[in-house]
Amino acid sequence: TDAVDETVKMVRAAGGTATLVPLDMTDHDGIARLGAALNERHGKLDILIGNAGLAGTSSPLGHTDPKYWDAVMAVNTAANFQLTRCMEPLLQNSDAGRAVFITSGIAHKANAYMGPYAASKPALEALVRVWPNEIATTPMRANLFSPGPIRTRMRAIVMPGEDPLTLETPEQVAEFIVPMCAPSWTENGRLFDYPSKTLLS
């Protein structure tokens, strides 16, 4: 929450307004309450970014404790499912509701020792590809974004021997997510691959 606090301060310093709401993404009732609170306060939601992620442990499938599997799936897949359920009515109330969910290249590489994480991302991608088919006749759009190797704490945990200074920063990546949140963005159900800077089907 300290990092988010800093972001809130930056928004306010720039003349904007922001509210910090700490929330456990595995608390489905909490997500529902957040949706209700947003509806009561704003009546709509213009942009939803599904960015919460959990890497889990790096170990062979046969040595992976089921509790780690459950934890990764709860955050990476189930929480995003609940977000789609609870935030869709608010996004539909917007003139141009936009949703972007963060995926990973590992969804298509199936790296060894990353079983739970590698399984959770294709599930997320399927979810986000189904949703656009359901909202195709509305002004709303939902898409996926794959950032690739980025200088984050999660990346440092998964790849401890890697020099983080060789990686791009989250701020650099965010510049490519912002256009996907604009009313002018018309693509729906697509994957933007940041390493190649291309839209994939």
Residue spans of alpha helices (H) in 66-114: 66-73, 79-93, 106-109
Give the DSSP letter string of 134-173. Answer: HSTTSS-EEEEEE--SBS-HHHHHH-TTS-GGGSB-HHHH
| Cα–Cα dist 135/121, whole Å | 22
Catalytic pick from 68, 113, 117, 194? 117
Residue 128: closest CA among 188, 46, 43 = 188
Q: Look up residue 59 and give its DSSP letter.
A: B
| 117 included as an active-site residue | yes
Q: Residue 172 is which amino acid?
A: Q
Of 174, 87, 76, 193, which is closest to residue 131 (Cα–Cα)? 87
User: Rounded CA gap, 11 and 147, in Å?
Assistant: 23
Report the amino acid identity of residue 103: T
Q: In a 3-state reduction of DSSP, which class is residue 19?
A: coil
CA 5 to chain centre: 19
Whose tokens are 């509701």? That residue is 97
| Enzyme catalytic residues | 117
